[in-house]
Structures are given as C-alpha cells and as structure tokens.
Amino acid sequence: MLVSAEFRSRDLSSEKENPCLSSTMGDYSSIKIPWKCWFGNELFNLTFPPNWDVKNISMNDAKPISDEEIRTKILNPSSSQRLKELVKGKSKPVIVIDDLHRPTESYRIIPIILKEMTDAGIETEQIDILVSLGAHRPMSREDLEKKIGKDMVNTLKVYNHNPYENLKLIGKSSLGEPLYLNRFLVESDMKIIIGSVIPHPYAGFGGGAKLILPGLAGIDTIEQNHKLAYAGKSGTIGIVEGNEGRDEMENTAKMVGIDFSVNTVSNSKGQTAGIFTGGLTESYCEAVKYAQEVYATNVPYNLDVGVFNAFPKDNGVVQSFSALNVWSTHNENKQVVKPGGTIVICSSSPDGVGYHGLTDKGMRLHIRRDKHGSFKHILSNRKIIFFSPTLIRKDIQDFLPETTLLCRKWSLVVEELKKTYSTKIEVGVFPSGPLQIDKHVF
C-alpha cells in the first residue's frame, strides 16, 4: 500500500488484548496516531485513564496536494529552465531518490519527470534510477514498487548505492575531507534529485544536497560527515543557516553538479503537502521556509510523560529515534519532559530492528543513544519506555540504556506508567514526532 493511501483506523488496544480496558471505552480518553508508514498506513488508537491530562500536540500541518499541482510545479520550476530544456542533448541521465526511511512520494513524481525527458528525445533505456542509501540496506523490488510504482520498476533500471564499492574521488570537502561519491552519479551528464525536506538532528532538514552527502558517499566520507554531529558539535533541528555540516553537503552537491532538484514537504500522514523544483539551493530554501511553517508545533515544556510517535520514520529501531525531533533544542529551560519524567517512544517497526551500516553494533560509529550528542541531553535522567508490537528486548539493547523497558502492548505501557504516577499527570502525545519542530526555536 502506498503512503498516500487512505488511512485505516485500527484499534490495537482491544479488550481481548488489553486487560486494562475491562470497562467500557467511554471510561478512557484516546488519541489516534499514524502508524506503519509504507507498510499499511493505519491509525493506531492510544488509550489513557480518564483522570490523566492528555494533550494531542500536533503540528500546524497542511492538506495533501493533487497530482495536477505536482505536475504543474515540475513543469514550471521556480529557479531553473524547464526540465525538458535542460535534458536536451544529454546521454547519461540519472534520477536520485531516497528510500523507505523517508515519506517522499516518488511514485507521483517520476512519471512526470520521465515524460519530460522522453519528450526531449531521451530514450528510457538511457535513464537510470540511483537510490540514495547512505549506509542503509538496499531496497528490494517490493520496496521499489512502493516507492516509485510498479510501472516505473518495469521501465527503468534501478541501482542501489553501495558505500563500499563503485566510488570515485572527486576532491576534498569544505571541511578538508576526501570526497568519495558513487561513480554512476559522478559520471552522469544529467543529475536529478528527488527528496523530502524533513527535520534532521544535525543537517537541520533532510533532502536536497543530503541525497548526495551522505546519501551517495563512500563509507569513509559518510563517517567523517557524521562525526561532528555524534559529538554534539554540529547542527540544530530545523535550522540550515550557519550549519557547518549542512554547508559541507551543499558544497559537495555543487561540486558534483545537480541539474534539477525536486523537494517535497510532507503532512502529518506522510502525504505530499508541498513541492518545490528547480535549482539546487533556490528550490531547497523555498521548501525549507514552507517546512518550517507546516512542521511548527506549539510545544509545552516540563510534561510528566511525553509520548513520541516515530511515524513517518517508524519502520525500524534506528530511524525511530527521529521521533524525538520535536525536542528541537538543547536549552535547559525548554525541556519537553521534566527531569525524572518518562519518555515513551512508539514505533511500528515492521522492518524489525532495521539496518544501518554505520551505527549498528559492531559498526564504526555505534554508540548508545543516551551517549550520542544529539540525544544524550534528552535521554539522561528520564525513564524510557519503547513501545513496539514487533520487537524483542534485544532489538533495543544496543541503542538504549539497560533500564529501558520494551512493551509490546499499549496496555502494558499504561500499566507501567500507573506504577510511577498514582495521581493525575500531564501527558503530551506527539503523533508525528520526526516531522514536528518546536516553533519556539526559530
């Protein structure tokens, strides 16, 4: 099922499964959160005791745009020539896409781009898709059918990036580090990128140049790009100006030469709410400005309990920590959950623990998240509960403190909270944590 499909309401807290719901549902307050991005797109019902003060803390949000609006934006870029003109005379074009860890609806975009290219005289046999994976796992055919559509899988050749092979040195980055990039990208004479502008702990926002670095870089280059952030010395969620790590990405993309850029902004259900096309930097800046409006959230501080849902990055453990993006500042006076409070991370994790070739245990930058520069200020001095119906305790032990609790039923989360909080408590639910940013940080 594609991410834009109508969401199905599924109450995973049925009386049979949930002993704390022995009385009627009227005795409980509930909040529905989006669930299983790319793997079902359901609405998951979280229930709470009626005497708790539970708030649904959502972002500003936006309605999804139509296919015709997407087509109009692609055919009329704001900061470059029309794609049909740019591609004339080219012989080795590539289209760069992201993977299922991002909500980008590439299946709605690529057919329009393909028609522009074939109208300009390019044969489909000349056009390749290059998946910007960084150190993520390769995409299967089933993954690709979700991402770009079955027709495109049957039309275009798709290459998964490999950070260990098929690399070419193009020089040094703005930080003086060797830049090894995917050879197919470097040797292409027409480079098109498609990505989502969603919050990121050290890049400010993803998408744009991030599809090139680290997305299509060699593992040594990816490692160097991540080191400052892992030490907590680079980047702020939602901010791209003055961001050293982001500047390195932009400069690298300019070195390799991006001819046409497509940047999407998502709504709370992972659907396309905005699209910005044209030049690399210009279209990206337009998308960032809109993203800051759509994702802005009126975040309260010093909650007793914060429930952070990982949708639309909820398909595996590592990406699920993006649920904490809404905790957008290190400012001690703007702590979403009070010291001594409880953090609940919710993740459907249909892909299980997932895979990351840089940060998994045994990999060169593995570190527990409570010791990671982007998360340690959040995860320290607070109780942590990880809620996922699909995981076992060992799946989270490599990434979180030993004291972290894993609950496979939402009823068990509620029962655990009852042990700590016997009286009325203040709970904040962030339904799309990876997209949400604290509006007070701007």
* Residues in contact with 26: Cβ distance below 8 Å, sequence separation at least 6, in sequence order: none
> How much is the pLDDT for 376?
86
Domain co-membership, 126 together with 225: yes
> How much is the pLDDT for 28?
66
Helix (H, G, I), strand (E, B) or coil at 91: coil
Query: How far, in Å, CA of 217 to CA of 246, rounded?
Result: 15
Domain co-membership, 145 together with 218: yes
pLDDT at 2 over 60: no
DSSP states of 327-363:
S----TT--SEEEEEEEEEE---TTTT--BTTTSTTS
pLDDT at 439 over 90: yes
Contact 204, 236 (CB under 8 A): yes
Tokens for 118, please give them. Answer: 């074939």
Query: How far, in Å, CA of 78 to CA of 279, rounded?
Result: 8
Residue 382 covered by a domain? yes
Contact 172, 69 (CB under 8 A): no
Residue 3 covered by a domain? no
Q: Which of 261, 293, 325 is the last residue of a domain?
A: 293
pLDDT at 247 over 60: yes
> How much is the pLDDT for 243?
82
* Residues in contact with 72: Cβ distance below 8 Å, sequence separation at least 6, in sequence order: none
Domain co-membership, 185 together with 135: yes
pLDDT at 20 over 50: no
Domain co-membership, 113 together with 92: yes
Where do the DSSP E strands lie in 251-291?
Answer: 260-266, 272-278
Query: What is the domain range of residue 410?
Result: 8-57+298-441
Residue 2 covered by a domain? no
pLDDT at 270 over 60: yes
DSSP states of 59-82:
B---PPPPHHHHHHHHHS-SSS--
Q: Shortest CA distance to 200 belongs to which of 162, 242, 163, 229?
A: 229
Tokens for 416, please give them. Answer: 């655990």
Domain co-membership, 263 together with 185: yes
Q: Which of 293, 321, 342 is the last residue of a domain?
A: 293
Q: Shortest CA distance to 171 belongs to which of 163, 181, 161?
A: 181
Residue 191 covered by a domain? yes
Q: CA torsion angle for 147, 160, 264, 284 (degrees, to 10)? A: -170
Q: List the CATH number of the domain containing 211.
A: 3.40.50.11440
Domain co-membership, 245 together with 361: no
**Which amino acid appears at position 71 of this protein?**
R
pLDDT at 3 over 80: no
How many domains does one find in the chain?
A: 2
Q: What is the mean pLDDT of residues 385-397?
A: 96
Tens digit of each residue's pLDDT (9 = 90 or more) over 85-143: 999 999 999 999 999 999 999 999 999 999 999 999 999 999 999 999 999 999 999 99
Residue 310 covered by a domain? yes
Tokens for 256, please give them. Answer: 């390799």
Helix (H, G, I), strand (E, B) or coil at 54: strand
Tens digit of each residue's pLDDT (9 = 90 or more) over 203-243: 899 999 999 999 999 999 999 888 766 665 566 788 888 88
Query: How far, in Å, CA of 394 to CA of 401, rounded?
Result: 12
Contact 314, 304 (CB under 8 A): no
Q: List the CATH number of the domain containing 404.
A: 3.90.226.30
Query: How far, in Å, CA of 434 to CA of 199, rounded?
Result: 7
Query: How far, in Å, CA of 281 to CA of 286, rounded?
Result: 9
pTM of the predicted structure, to 2 decimals: 0.93
Residue 402 covered by a domain? yes
Give, to the nearest 10 degrees, the angle between helix 67-75 and helix 106-119.
40
- For residue 138, give the DSSP letter: P
Domain co-membership, 271 together with 142: yes
Residue 154 covered by a domain? yes
Percent of the chain with pLDDT over 90: 80
Helix (H, G, I), strand (E, B) or coil at 37: coil
Domain co-membership, 278 together with 355: no
Tens digit of each residue's pLDDT (9 = 90 or more) over 325-371: 999 887 888 999 999 999 999 999 999 999 999 999 999 989 898 88
pLDDT at 286 over 90: yes
Tokens for 103, please give them. Answer: 């909500």
Residue 62 covered by a domain? no
Domain co-membership, 33 together with 124: no
Tens digit of each residue's pLDDT (9 = 90 or more) over 37-75: 999 999 999 999 999 999 999 999 999 999 999 999 999
Domain co-membership, 214 together with 245: yes
Domain co-membership, 281 together with 176: yes
Query: How far, in Å, CA of 213 to CA of 173, rounded?
Result: 10
Q: Which of 293, 322, 339 is the last residue of a domain?
A: 293
Domain co-membership, 99 together with 26: no
